[in-house]
Structure 1
Amino acid sequence: MAFEKITEMSSLHDNLDKSSVLELLVGINEEDKKVPLAVEKAIPQLEKLVESIVLRMKRGGRIFYMGAGTSGRLGVLDASEIPPTYGMPNTLVIGLIAGGDRALRNPVEAAEDSEEKGWQELVSYNVNVNDTVIGIAASGTTPYVIGALKHAQQNGILTASISCNPDAPVAQYADIPIEVVVGPEFVTGSTRMKAGTAQKLVLNMITTTTMIKLGRVKGNRMVNMQLTNKKLIDRGTRMIMEETKLEYEAAKNLLLLHGSVKKATDAFFNVNKEENIK
Protein backbone atom coordinates (compact mmCIF):
# COMPACT_ATOMS: atom_id res chain seq x y z
CA MET A 1 0.00 0.00 0.00
CA ALA A 2 1.47 3.33 -1.07
CA PHE A 3 2.19 5.93 1.60
CA GLU A 4 -0.47 8.63 1.47
CA LYS A 5 0.25 12.14 2.73
CA ILE A 6 -2.80 13.45 4.53
CA THR A 7 -0.89 16.72 4.89
CA GLU A 8 -1.04 17.13 1.10
CA MET A 9 -4.71 16.25 0.66
CA SER A 10 -7.08 18.86 -0.70
CA SER A 11 -8.51 21.28 1.84
CA LEU A 12 -12.01 20.69 3.17
CA HIS A 13 -12.66 24.35 2.35
CA ASP A 14 -12.87 25.68 -1.20
CA ASN A 15 -13.35 28.97 -3.04
CA LEU A 16 -11.13 30.69 -0.50
CA ASP A 17 -10.38 33.51 -2.91
CA LYS A 18 -14.09 34.30 -3.08
CA SER A 19 -14.72 34.10 0.68
CA SER A 20 -15.17 37.05 3.02
CA VAL A 21 -12.61 37.86 5.72
CA LEU A 22 -15.04 36.59 8.35
CA GLU A 23 -15.61 33.32 6.49
CA LEU A 24 -11.86 32.78 6.16
CA LEU A 25 -11.19 33.46 9.83
CA VAL A 26 -14.00 31.19 10.96
CA GLY A 27 -12.78 28.43 8.64
CA ILE A 28 -9.20 28.63 9.91
CA ASN A 29 -10.46 28.56 13.48
CA GLU A 30 -12.60 25.50 12.75
CA GLU A 31 -9.54 23.64 11.51
CA ASP A 32 -7.34 24.83 14.39
CA LYS A 33 -9.80 23.36 16.91
CA LYS A 34 -8.86 19.89 15.67
CA VAL A 35 -5.23 20.25 16.70
CA PRO A 36 -5.33 19.76 20.50
CA LEU A 37 -7.58 16.73 20.09
CA ALA A 38 -5.02 15.16 17.76
CA VAL A 39 -2.19 15.98 20.18
CA GLU A 40 -4.13 14.38 23.05
CA LYS A 41 -4.03 11.03 21.27
CA ALA A 42 -0.22 11.14 21.28
CA ILE A 43 0.16 11.60 25.06
CA PRO A 44 1.09 7.92 25.74
CA GLN A 45 4.00 8.17 23.29
CA LEU A 46 4.99 11.57 24.69
CA GLU A 47 5.03 10.14 28.21
CA LYS A 48 7.39 7.38 27.13
CA LEU A 49 9.63 9.88 25.34
CA VAL A 50 9.85 12.38 28.20
CA GLU A 51 10.60 9.69 30.78
CA SER A 52 13.40 8.42 28.54
CA ILE A 53 14.77 11.94 27.98
CA VAL A 54 14.81 12.76 31.70
CA LEU A 55 16.80 9.61 32.51
CA ARG A 56 19.34 10.48 29.81
CA MET A 57 19.64 14.15 30.72
CA LYS A 58 20.33 13.22 34.33
CA ARG A 59 23.34 11.34 32.93
CA GLY A 60 24.48 14.42 31.02
CA GLY A 61 22.52 13.82 27.83
CA ARG A 62 21.09 16.40 25.46
CA ILE A 63 18.08 16.83 23.17
CA PHE A 64 18.71 17.42 19.46
CA TYR A 65 15.87 18.63 17.25
CA MET A 66 16.29 18.01 13.52
CA GLY A 67 14.03 19.61 10.93
CA ALA A 68 13.69 21.58 7.69
CA GLY A 69 11.57 24.62 6.87
CA THR A 70 8.81 25.34 9.37
CA SER A 71 9.58 22.15 11.30
CA GLY A 72 13.22 23.11 11.66
CA ARG A 73 12.37 26.66 12.71
CA LEU A 74 10.03 25.37 15.41
CA GLY A 75 12.76 23.12 16.79
CA VAL A 76 15.24 25.99 16.91
CA LEU A 77 12.60 28.21 18.55
CA ASP A 78 11.87 25.69 21.28
CA ALA A 79 15.55 25.08 21.95
CA SER A 80 16.33 28.80 22.10
CA GLU A 81 13.69 29.41 24.76
CA ILE A 82 15.02 26.88 27.28
CA PRO A 83 17.99 28.93 28.61
CA PRO A 84 16.03 32.13 29.41
CA THR A 85 12.98 30.27 30.74
CA TYR A 86 14.72 27.65 32.86
CA GLY A 87 18.26 28.96 33.29
CA MET A 88 19.77 25.96 31.52
CA PRO A 89 22.92 26.18 29.37
CA ASN A 90 22.24 26.55 25.64
CA THR A 91 24.17 23.33 25.05
CA LEU A 92 21.50 20.97 26.42
CA VAL A 93 18.63 21.47 23.97
CA ILE A 94 19.92 22.06 20.45
CA GLY A 95 17.89 22.83 17.34
CA LEU A 96 19.42 21.98 13.97
CA ILE A 97 17.77 23.14 10.75
CA ALA A 98 18.59 22.05 7.21
CA GLY A 99 20.52 24.88 5.61
CA GLY A 100 21.83 26.29 8.89
CA ASP A 101 20.96 29.60 10.50
CA ARG A 102 20.35 31.26 7.13
CA ALA A 103 17.36 28.94 6.70
CA LEU A 104 15.68 30.49 9.73
CA ARG A 105 14.73 33.51 7.62
CA ASN A 106 15.19 32.38 4.03
CA PRO A 107 14.61 29.13 2.14
CA VAL A 108 17.86 27.33 1.31
CA GLU A 109 17.52 25.43 -1.95
CA ALA A 110 17.72 21.63 -1.66
CA ALA A 111 19.13 21.83 1.90
CA GLU A 112 16.71 19.17 3.15
CA ASP A 113 17.41 16.68 0.36
CA SER A 114 20.64 15.18 1.77
CA GLU A 115 20.31 12.10 3.95
CA GLU A 116 23.90 12.51 5.18
CA LYS A 117 24.01 16.19 6.16
CA GLY A 118 21.94 15.86 9.33
CA TRP A 119 24.08 13.06 10.71
CA GLN A 120 27.27 14.96 9.85
CA GLU A 121 25.99 17.88 11.92
CA LEU A 122 25.18 15.60 14.84
CA VAL A 123 28.67 14.09 14.70
CA SER A 124 30.13 17.60 14.89
CA TYR A 125 28.38 17.90 18.28
CA ASN A 126 29.84 14.54 19.43
CA VAL A 127 26.37 13.02 19.71
CA ASN A 128 26.36 9.96 21.99
CA VAL A 129 24.14 7.34 23.62
CA ASN A 130 23.09 9.67 26.43
CA ASP A 131 21.50 12.02 23.90
CA THR A 132 18.06 11.98 22.26
CA VAL A 133 17.55 12.90 18.61
CA ILE A 134 14.05 14.07 17.67
CA GLY A 135 13.21 14.44 14.01
CA ILE A 136 10.46 16.94 13.18
CA ALA A 137 8.81 16.56 9.77
CA ALA A 138 5.16 17.33 9.06
CA SER A 139 5.10 15.11 5.99
CA GLY A 140 7.40 12.53 7.56
CA THR A 141 9.47 12.26 4.37
CA THR A 142 12.27 14.83 4.81
CA PRO A 143 15.61 13.17 3.83
CA TYR A 144 17.67 15.43 6.13
CA VAL A 145 15.62 14.21 9.10
CA ILE A 146 15.29 10.57 8.03
CA GLY A 147 19.04 10.22 7.46
CA ALA A 148 19.89 11.72 10.84
CA LEU A 149 17.49 9.39 12.67
CA LYS A 150 18.66 6.36 10.70
CA HIS A 151 22.32 6.90 11.60
CA ALA A 152 21.50 7.81 15.19
CA GLN A 153 19.49 4.63 15.64
CA GLN A 154 22.30 2.56 14.16
CA ASN A 155 24.63 4.07 16.74
CA GLY A 156 22.43 3.19 19.71
CA ILE A 157 21.07 6.70 20.25
CA LEU A 158 17.43 7.15 21.30
CA THR A 159 15.38 8.52 18.40
CA ALA A 160 11.90 10.00 18.15
CA SER A 161 9.90 11.57 15.35
CA ILE A 162 7.11 14.13 15.22
CA SER A 163 5.03 13.90 12.06
CA CYS A 164 1.48 14.59 10.93
CA ASN A 165 0.94 11.57 8.70
CA PRO A 166 0.28 8.03 9.94
CA ASP A 167 2.98 5.43 9.20
CA ALA A 168 5.27 8.06 7.72
CA PRO A 169 8.74 6.94 6.51
CA VAL A 170 10.44 8.91 9.30
CA ALA A 171 8.66 6.75 11.89
CA GLN A 172 10.60 3.69 10.67
CA TYR A 173 13.75 5.15 12.21
CA ALA A 174 12.15 6.44 15.42
CA ASP A 175 12.23 4.35 18.58
CA ILE A 176 9.29 6.49 19.72
CA PRO A 177 7.23 7.77 16.79
CA ILE A 178 4.81 10.57 17.63
CA GLU A 179 2.10 10.99 15.01
CA VAL A 180 -0.26 13.94 15.33
CA VAL A 181 -2.71 13.56 12.45
CA VAL A 182 -4.51 16.89 12.10
CA GLY A 183 -5.95 16.32 8.61
CA PRO A 184 -5.72 18.43 5.45
CA GLU A 185 -4.68 22.06 5.83
CA PHE A 186 -7.04 25.02 5.36
CA VAL A 187 -4.86 26.08 2.43
CA THR A 188 -3.97 22.80 0.72
CA GLY A 189 -0.47 21.64 1.68
CA SER A 190 0.33 24.68 3.87
CA THR A 191 1.79 22.73 6.78
CA ARG A 192 2.89 25.92 8.55
CA MET A 193 -0.73 26.00 9.73
CA LYS A 194 -2.30 23.07 11.62
CA ALA A 195 0.74 20.80 11.32
CA GLY A 196 3.01 23.58 12.57
CA THR A 197 0.66 24.34 15.46
CA ALA A 198 0.57 20.66 16.42
CA GLN A 199 4.36 20.43 16.35
CA LYS A 200 4.69 23.53 18.52
CA LEU A 201 2.27 22.10 21.10
CA VAL A 202 4.19 18.82 21.18
CA LEU A 203 7.55 20.56 21.57
CA ASN A 204 6.14 22.67 24.41
CA MET A 205 4.98 19.51 26.15
CA ILE A 206 8.31 17.70 25.73
CA THR A 207 10.62 20.40 27.05
CA THR A 208 8.30 21.87 29.68
CA THR A 209 7.66 18.49 31.27
CA THR A 210 11.34 17.59 31.04
CA MET A 211 12.45 20.82 32.71
CA ILE A 212 9.92 20.37 35.52
CA LYS A 213 11.13 16.82 36.17
CA LEU A 214 14.72 18.09 36.19
CA GLY A 215 13.83 20.45 39.04
CA ARG A 216 13.81 23.72 37.10
CA VAL A 217 10.34 24.69 38.39
CA LYS A 218 9.13 25.10 41.98
CA GLY A 219 5.39 24.89 42.48
CA ASN A 220 4.31 26.50 39.24
CA ARG A 221 7.04 29.15 39.05
CA MET A 222 10.04 29.59 36.75
CA VAL A 223 12.48 29.97 39.64
CA ASN A 224 15.55 29.57 37.41
CA MET A 225 14.63 32.05 34.67
CA GLN A 226 17.30 34.45 33.42
CA LEU A 227 16.88 38.05 34.54
CA THR A 228 17.21 39.59 31.09
CA ASN A 229 14.80 42.53 31.39
CA LYS A 230 12.84 44.68 33.86
CA LYS A 231 9.69 42.58 33.48
CA LEU A 232 11.49 39.40 34.51
CA ILE A 233 13.28 41.12 37.39
CA ASP A 234 9.91 42.37 38.63
CA ARG A 235 8.37 38.91 38.24
CA GLY A 236 11.25 37.32 40.14
CA THR A 237 11.05 39.94 42.87
CA ARG A 238 7.39 39.22 43.44
CA MET A 239 8.07 35.50 43.59
CA ILE A 240 10.62 36.13 46.35
CA MET A 241 8.22 38.44 48.19
CA GLU A 242 5.59 35.71 48.18
CA GLU A 243 8.04 33.08 49.38
CA THR A 244 9.92 35.10 52.00
CA LYS A 245 7.46 37.88 52.99
CA LEU A 246 10.17 40.47 52.32
CA GLU A 247 9.31 43.98 51.11
CA TYR A 248 9.73 44.74 47.40
CA GLU A 249 13.12 46.50 47.51
CA ALA A 250 14.65 43.94 49.86
CA ALA A 251 13.39 41.09 47.68
CA LYS A 252 14.70 42.79 44.54
CA ASN A 253 18.13 43.36 46.07
CA LEU A 254 18.28 39.73 47.15
CA LEU A 255 17.35 38.61 43.64
CA LEU A 256 19.97 40.79 41.94
CA LEU A 257 22.60 39.65 44.42
CA HIS A 258 22.07 35.94 43.75
CA GLY A 259 20.93 36.02 40.12
CA SER A 260 17.90 33.74 40.30
CA VAL A 261 14.77 33.24 42.38
CA LYS A 262 15.88 29.79 43.48
CA LYS A 263 19.35 30.89 44.60
CA ALA A 264 17.92 33.95 46.34
CA THR A 265 15.27 32.06 48.30
CA ASP A 266 17.69 29.25 49.15
CA ALA A 267 20.16 31.81 50.52
CA PHE A 268 17.44 33.58 52.50
CA PHE A 269 16.18 30.43 54.20
CA ASN A 270 19.69 29.10 54.82
CA VAL A 271 20.63 32.31 56.63
CA ASN A 272 17.45 32.20 58.71
CA LYS A 273 18.06 28.55 59.52
CA GLU A 274 21.60 29.29 60.70
CA GLU A 275 20.37 32.18 62.87
CA ASN A 276 17.69 29.97 64.45
CA ILE A 277 20.32 27.35 65.24
CA LYS A 278 22.43 29.98 66.98
Structure 2
Amino acid sequence: MLEKLTTEERNMNTMNLDKMSALEILKVMNNEDKKVARQVELEMVSIEKAVQLVVESFKNKGRLIYFGAGTSGRLGILDAVECVPTFSTPPEQVQGLIAGGLTAFTQAVEGAEDSEELGMEDLKNIHISDNDIIIGIAASGRTPYVIGGLKYAQKVGAKTVSISCNKGASISNYATVAIEVETGAEILTGSTRLKAGTAQKLVLNMISTCSMILVGKVYKNLMVDVQATNLKLVERSKKIIMDATNVNLATAETYLKASNQNVKAAIVMILLNCTYEIAMEKLKNEGGFIRKTL
Protein backbone atom coordinates (compact mmCIF):
# COMPACT_ATOMS: atom_id res chain seq x y z
CA MET A 1 0.00 0.00 0.00
CA LEU A 2 2.90 2.39 0.61
CA GLU A 3 3.44 3.10 -3.07
CA LYS A 4 -0.07 4.57 -3.23
CA LEU A 5 0.60 7.14 -0.51
CA THR A 6 1.72 10.62 -1.53
CA THR A 7 3.68 10.86 1.72
CA GLU A 8 5.83 7.95 0.47
CA GLU A 9 6.50 9.35 -3.01
CA ARG A 10 9.93 10.57 -4.08
CA ASN A 11 10.28 14.33 -4.35
CA MET A 12 11.41 15.34 -7.83
CA ASN A 13 13.05 18.48 -6.39
CA THR A 14 15.45 16.49 -4.24
CA MET A 15 16.58 13.57 -6.38
CA ASN A 16 20.17 14.75 -5.83
CA LEU A 17 19.74 15.60 -2.17
CA ASP A 18 23.01 13.90 -1.22
CA LYS A 19 24.95 16.11 -3.64
CA MET A 20 23.56 19.42 -2.37
CA SER A 21 25.41 21.89 -0.17
CA ALA A 22 24.08 22.70 3.30
CA LEU A 23 22.54 25.94 2.02
CA GLU A 24 20.90 24.20 -0.93
CA ILE A 25 19.38 21.57 1.37
CA LEU A 26 18.05 24.25 3.72
CA LYS A 27 16.55 26.24 0.85
CA VAL A 28 14.73 23.25 -0.61
CA MET A 29 13.43 22.32 2.85
CA ASN A 30 12.17 25.85 3.39
CA ASN A 31 10.49 25.92 -0.03
CA GLU A 32 8.70 22.65 0.72
CA ASP A 33 7.65 23.87 4.16
CA LYS A 34 6.04 26.94 2.60
CA LYS A 35 3.51 24.64 0.96
CA VAL A 36 2.24 23.21 4.23
CA ALA A 37 0.10 26.12 5.47
CA ARG A 38 -1.62 26.34 2.08
CA GLN A 39 -2.58 22.68 2.30
CA VAL A 40 -3.89 23.14 5.84
CA GLU A 41 -6.03 26.04 4.61
CA LEU A 42 -7.80 23.68 2.20
CA GLU A 43 -9.07 21.68 5.18
CA MET A 44 -10.40 24.64 7.16
CA VAL A 45 -14.05 23.53 7.00
CA SER A 46 -13.20 20.12 8.45
CA ILE A 47 -10.97 21.66 11.11
CA GLU A 48 -13.84 23.95 12.15
CA LYS A 49 -16.13 20.92 12.49
CA ALA A 50 -13.54 19.24 14.69
CA VAL A 51 -13.36 22.34 16.91
CA GLN A 52 -17.13 22.36 17.28
CA LEU A 53 -17.04 18.73 18.44
CA VAL A 54 -14.29 19.50 20.96
CA VAL A 55 -16.23 22.46 22.37
CA GLU A 56 -19.33 20.29 22.65
CA SER A 57 -17.35 17.66 24.56
CA PHE A 58 -15.89 20.24 26.94
CA LYS A 59 -19.34 21.65 27.65
CA ASN A 60 -20.50 18.11 28.52
CA LYS A 61 -17.50 17.61 30.88
CA GLY A 62 -15.90 15.32 28.30
CA ARG A 63 -12.24 14.89 27.43
CA LEU A 64 -10.14 15.49 24.32
CA ILE A 65 -7.94 12.47 23.62
CA TYR A 66 -5.18 12.64 21.01
CA PHE A 67 -4.18 9.24 19.75
CA GLY A 68 -1.34 8.17 17.45
CA ALA A 69 1.92 6.31 16.86
CA GLY A 70 5.47 7.58 16.38
CA THR A 71 5.76 11.23 15.42
CA SER A 72 1.97 11.60 15.28
CA GLY A 73 1.57 10.30 18.82
CA ARG A 74 4.37 12.52 20.11
CA LEU A 75 2.78 15.60 18.56
CA GLY A 76 -0.52 14.75 20.24
CA ILE A 77 1.19 14.46 23.62
CA LEU A 78 3.03 17.74 23.04
CA ASP A 79 -0.19 19.62 22.34
CA ALA A 80 -1.98 17.99 25.27
CA VAL A 81 0.63 18.76 27.93
CA GLU A 82 0.86 22.41 26.86
CA CYS A 83 -2.85 22.92 27.58
CA VAL A 84 -2.29 22.63 31.34
CA PRO A 85 0.02 25.66 31.84
CA THR A 86 -1.48 27.68 28.99
CA PHE A 87 -5.17 27.24 29.79
CA SER A 88 -5.23 25.80 33.34
CA THR A 89 -6.98 22.66 32.14
CA PRO A 90 -6.96 19.65 34.47
CA PRO A 91 -4.37 17.12 33.20
CA GLU A 92 -7.10 14.62 32.39
CA GLN A 93 -9.14 17.02 30.22
CA VAL A 94 -6.71 16.93 27.29
CA GLN A 95 -4.63 13.77 26.98
CA GLY A 96 -2.22 12.27 24.49
CA LEU A 97 -1.82 8.53 23.96
CA ILE A 98 0.98 6.95 21.93
CA ALA A 99 1.38 3.40 20.69
CA GLY A 100 3.78 1.64 23.04
CA GLY A 101 3.09 3.94 25.98
CA LEU A 102 5.17 6.84 27.26
CA THR A 103 8.37 4.87 26.61
CA ALA A 104 7.63 5.39 22.92
CA PHE A 105 7.89 9.16 23.37
CA THR A 106 11.69 8.93 23.47
CA GLN A 107 12.39 5.62 21.78
CA ALA A 108 10.67 3.45 19.17
CA VAL A 109 8.58 0.55 20.47
CA GLU A 110 8.71 -1.92 17.62
CA GLY A 111 5.41 -3.28 16.37
CA ALA A 112 3.19 -1.26 18.71
CA GLU A 113 1.62 0.72 15.90
CA ASP A 114 0.71 -2.45 13.99
CA SER A 115 -1.89 -3.64 16.50
CA GLU A 116 -5.54 -2.61 16.30
CA GLU A 117 -6.12 -4.47 19.56
CA LEU A 118 -3.53 -2.35 21.38
CA GLY A 119 -5.28 0.79 20.19
CA MET A 120 -8.57 -0.48 21.54
CA GLU A 121 -7.01 -1.51 24.86
CA ASP A 122 -5.35 1.87 25.42
CA LEU A 123 -8.70 3.64 25.10
CA LYS A 124 -10.47 1.04 27.24
CA ASN A 125 -7.91 1.65 29.97
CA ILE A 126 -8.83 5.32 30.26
CA HIS A 127 -12.57 4.50 30.22
CA ILE A 128 -13.66 6.73 27.35
CA SER A 129 -17.36 7.60 27.13
CA ASP A 130 -19.79 9.18 24.71
CA ASN A 131 -18.90 12.60 26.16
CA ASP A 132 -15.30 12.32 24.99
CA ILE A 133 -13.78 13.17 21.62
CA ILE A 134 -11.03 10.99 20.18
CA ILE A 135 -8.67 12.46 17.59
CA GLY A 136 -6.68 9.81 15.73
CA ILE A 137 -3.49 11.07 14.09
CA ALA A 138 -1.54 9.23 11.37
CA ALA A 139 0.45 10.80 8.56
CA SER A 140 -0.05 7.74 6.36
CA GLY A 141 -3.70 7.50 7.31
CA ARG A 142 -3.46 3.72 7.65
CA THR A 143 -1.89 3.00 11.06
CA PRO A 144 -3.64 -0.06 12.61
CA TYR A 145 -3.20 1.24 16.18
CA VAL A 146 -5.16 4.37 15.27
CA ILE A 147 -7.80 2.45 13.31
CA GLY A 148 -8.37 0.13 16.26
CA GLY A 149 -8.78 3.06 18.63
CA LEU A 150 -11.21 4.87 16.36
CA LYS A 151 -13.26 1.70 15.91
CA TYR A 152 -13.54 1.29 19.67
CA ALA A 153 -14.37 4.98 20.14
CA GLN A 154 -17.24 4.65 17.66
CA LYS A 155 -18.46 1.55 19.47
CA VAL A 156 -18.84 3.41 22.78
CA GLY A 157 -20.39 6.45 21.09
CA ALA A 158 -17.48 8.87 21.47
CA LYS A 159 -17.04 11.53 18.80
CA THR A 160 -14.16 10.83 16.45
CA VAL A 161 -11.83 12.93 14.29
CA SER A 162 -9.02 11.73 12.06
CA ILE A 163 -5.97 13.72 10.94
CA SER A 164 -3.94 12.32 8.06
CA CYS A 165 -1.68 13.60 5.29
CA ASN A 166 -3.08 11.54 2.42
CA LYS A 167 -6.38 11.82 0.59
CA GLY A 168 -8.75 8.89 0.92
CA ALA A 169 -7.01 7.79 4.11
CA SER A 170 -8.16 4.56 5.74
CA ILE A 171 -8.60 6.23 9.14
CA SER A 172 -11.08 8.66 7.57
CA ASN A 173 -13.56 5.80 7.33
CA TYR A 174 -13.76 5.62 11.12
CA ALA A 175 -14.14 9.32 11.89
CA THR A 176 -17.10 11.65 12.29
CA VAL A 177 -14.84 14.36 10.86
CA ALA A 178 -11.91 13.54 8.58
CA ILE A 179 -9.09 16.06 8.14
CA GLU A 180 -6.83 15.14 5.22
CA VAL A 181 -3.94 17.56 4.70
CA GLU A 182 -2.13 16.30 1.60
CA THR A 183 1.44 17.47 2.16
CA GLY A 184 2.94 15.37 -0.64
CA ALA A 185 6.42 13.97 -1.05
CA GLU A 186 8.97 14.78 1.64
CA ILE A 187 12.45 16.02 0.70
CA LEU A 188 13.73 12.84 2.34
CA THR A 189 11.51 10.09 1.00
CA GLY A 190 9.03 8.83 3.58
CA SER A 191 10.32 10.99 6.44
CA THR A 192 6.91 12.18 7.60
CA ARG A 193 8.32 13.95 10.67
CA LEU A 194 9.01 16.78 8.18
CA LYS A 195 6.12 18.37 6.21
CA ALA A 196 3.53 15.90 7.45
CA GLY A 197 4.59 16.47 11.05
CA THR A 198 4.49 20.22 10.56
CA ALA A 199 0.98 20.00 9.13
CA GLN A 200 -0.22 17.86 12.02
CA LYS A 201 1.20 20.27 14.57
CA LEU A 202 -0.48 23.21 12.86
CA VAL A 203 -3.84 21.43 12.88
CA LEU A 204 -3.52 20.32 16.52
CA ASN A 205 -2.57 23.86 17.58
CA MET A 206 -5.60 25.20 15.73
CA ILE A 207 -8.01 22.70 17.28
CA SER A 208 -6.87 23.10 20.88
CA THR A 209 -6.35 26.88 20.82
CA CYS A 210 -9.62 27.66 19.04
CA SER A 211 -11.55 25.34 21.34
CA MET A 212 -10.06 26.93 24.46
CA ILE A 213 -10.94 30.41 23.21
CA LEU A 214 -14.53 29.32 22.60
CA VAL A 215 -14.93 27.97 26.14
CA GLY A 216 -13.76 31.21 27.79
CA LYS A 217 -10.05 30.66 28.34
CA VAL A 218 -9.08 33.92 26.61
CA TYR A 219 -9.92 37.61 27.11
CA LYS A 220 -9.26 39.73 24.03
CA ASN A 221 -6.05 38.02 22.87
CA LEU A 222 -4.67 37.36 26.34
CA MET A 223 -4.18 33.89 27.90
CA VAL A 224 -5.97 34.79 31.09
CA ASP A 225 -6.16 31.20 32.37
CA VAL A 226 -2.37 30.83 32.43
CA GLN A 227 -0.90 28.98 35.40
CA ALA A 228 1.92 30.89 37.10
CA THR A 229 4.02 27.77 37.73
CA ASN A 230 7.48 29.30 37.17
CA LEU A 231 9.15 32.72 37.26
CA LYS A 232 8.55 33.38 33.56
CA LEU A 233 4.84 32.62 33.90
CA VAL A 234 4.55 34.74 37.04
CA GLU A 235 5.95 37.69 35.12
CA ARG A 236 3.70 36.89 32.16
CA SER A 237 0.70 36.83 34.50
CA LYS A 238 1.54 40.31 35.75
CA LYS A 239 1.91 41.60 32.21
CA ILE A 240 -1.44 40.08 31.21
CA ILE A 241 -3.14 41.86 34.12
CA MET A 242 -1.45 45.13 33.13
CA ASP A 243 -2.43 44.77 29.48
CA ALA A 244 -6.03 43.89 30.32
CA THR A 245 -6.61 46.66 32.87
CA ASN A 246 -4.00 49.37 32.16
CA VAL A 247 -2.71 49.25 35.74
CA ASN A 248 0.96 49.58 36.66
CA LEU A 249 3.26 46.74 37.71
CA ALA A 250 2.88 47.31 41.43
CA THR A 251 -0.91 47.17 41.18
CA ALA A 252 -0.78 44.05 39.03
CA GLU A 253 1.45 42.36 41.61
CA THR A 254 -0.92 43.34 44.43
CA TYR A 255 -3.99 41.94 42.68
CA LEU A 256 -2.22 38.78 41.51
CA LYS A 257 -1.40 38.02 45.13
CA ALA A 258 -4.89 38.98 46.34
CA SER A 259 -6.46 36.69 43.73
CA ASN A 260 -4.44 33.63 44.79
CA GLN A 261 -2.51 33.78 41.51
CA ASN A 262 -5.76 33.69 39.50
CA VAL A 263 -5.24 36.06 36.59
CA LYS A 264 -8.91 36.03 35.55
CA ALA A 265 -10.06 36.93 39.04
CA ALA A 266 -7.45 39.67 39.33
CA ILE A 267 -8.66 41.30 36.11
CA VAL A 268 -12.31 41.20 37.19
CA MET A 269 -11.42 42.52 40.66
CA ILE A 270 -9.69 45.52 39.09
CA LEU A 271 -12.22 46.28 36.36
CA LEU A 272 -15.31 45.80 38.56
CA ASN A 273 -13.66 47.06 41.75
CA CYS A 274 -14.80 44.02 43.69
CA THR A 275 -13.46 41.40 46.09
CA TYR A 276 -11.90 38.10 45.10
CA GLU A 277 -14.98 36.19 46.28
CA ILE A 278 -17.35 38.34 44.21
CA ALA A 279 -15.08 38.11 41.17
CA MET A 280 -15.01 34.32 41.36
CA GLU A 281 -18.78 34.14 41.78
CA LYS A 282 -19.38 36.39 38.79
CA LEU A 283 -16.95 34.40 36.65
CA LYS A 284 -18.65 31.16 37.64
CA ASN A 285 -22.06 32.58 36.71
CA GLU A 286 -20.75 33.49 33.25
CA GLY A 287 -18.96 30.20 32.57
CA GLY A 288 -15.53 31.73 33.06
CA PHE A 289 -15.86 34.30 30.27
CA ILE A 290 -14.34 37.62 31.36
CA ARG A 291 -16.05 39.63 28.63
CA LYS A 292 -19.49 38.33 29.66
CA THR A 293 -18.65 38.91 33.32
CA LEU A 294 -17.84 42.55 32.64
Relative to the length of structure 2, the TM-score reads 0.89
CA-to-aligned-CA distance 1:200-229 (integer Å, 9 cap, x gap)? 000000000000001000000000101022
Tell me the equivalent position of 1:267. Answer: 269
Structure 1 residues not aligned, in runs of 5+ = none
Deviation at 1:250, TM superposition (A): 2.6
* Root-mean-square deviation over aligned CA pairs: 1.7
Letter in 2 for 1:240: I
Tell me the equivalent position of 1:57. Answer: 58
Letter in 2 for 1:164: C
Deviation at 1:111, TM superposition (A): 1.0
Within a 5 Å distance, the mapping from 1:23-34 to structure 2 comes to 23-34=24-35
Within a 5 Å distance, the mapping from 1:12-31 to structure 2 comes to 12=12, 13-31=14-32
Deviation at 1:270, TM superposition (A): 4.4
Tell me the equivalent position of 1:232. Answer: 233
Tell me the equivalent position of 2:131. Answer: 130
Do the aligned residues in 1 keep the contact of 2:3 with 2:9 (CA within 8 Å)?
A: no
2: distance between equivalents of 1:63 and 1:206?
10
Tell me the equivalent position of 2:281. Answer: none
Letter in 2 for 1:198: A
Distance 1:73 1:260, change over 3 A: same
Tell me the equivalent position of 2:88. Answer: 87
Do the aligned residues in 2 keep the contact of 1:233 with 1:252 (CA within 8 Å)?
A: no
2: distance between equivalents of 1:119 and 1:54?
24
Deviation at 1:57, TM superposition (A): 1.1
CA-to-aligned-CA distance 1:221-276 (integer Å, 9 cap, x gap)? 000101022222122212222333433123113213321210112233444499xx
1: distance between equivalents of 2:243 and 2:75?
35
Tell me the equivalent position of 2:175. Answer: 174
1:68 aligns with 2:69: yes
Aligned pair count reads 274
Tell me the equivalent position of 2:4. Answer: 4
Distance 1:30 1:245, change over 3 A: closer
CA-to-aligned-CA distance 1:151-197 (integer Å, 9 cap, x gap)? 21122211110000111111111111100001100100000000000
CA-to-aligned-CA distance 1:42-94 (integer Å, 9 cap, x gap)? 00001111112211210111111110000000000000000100111111111
Letter in 2 for 1:34: K
Structure 2 residues not aligned, in runs of 5+ = 279-294
Letter in 2 for 1:162: I
2: distance between equivalents of 1:243 and 1:152?
41
Relative to the length of structure 1, the TM-score reads 0.94
1: distance between equivalents of 2:84 and 2:257?
18
2: distance between equivalents of 1:2 and 1:104?
24
2: distance between equivalents of 1:42 and 1:244?
37
